[in-house]
Amino acid sequence: MVQGNFTDQVYQVVARIPRGKVATYGQIAFFIGTPRSARLVGYALSHTPFFLSLPCHRVVNRLGRTAPGWPEQRLLLESEGVPFRENGTVDLAKCLWHTE
């Protein structure tokens, strides 16, 4: 169970995404009990303080698209072995994170 305000809950979930896996904004929203707040998850992550060192690069949209204007995200994911499809999206079938 995640505790705290919305942003803290988002950060707690993102901190648990393992290397080589990705989660979607909607998935994180669902995990914290607010399934219709995927955009708010994105907003919270876009304002994450650098000092938290969260693996925000492991969060993609529901189609596997990376964040626009952040080309380093793909490089970070590839360095962890995350596979991409020919169309440039993350292959969610192979690396979507499933919690226990």
Q: Active-site residue numbers? A: 56
Do 31 and 99 contact (CB within 8 A), yes or no? Answer: yes
The answer to whether 6 and 34 have CB atoms below 8 angstroms apart is yes
**Tokens describing residue 33:** 């009990």
- Point out which residues pair with 90 in neighbouring strands: 84
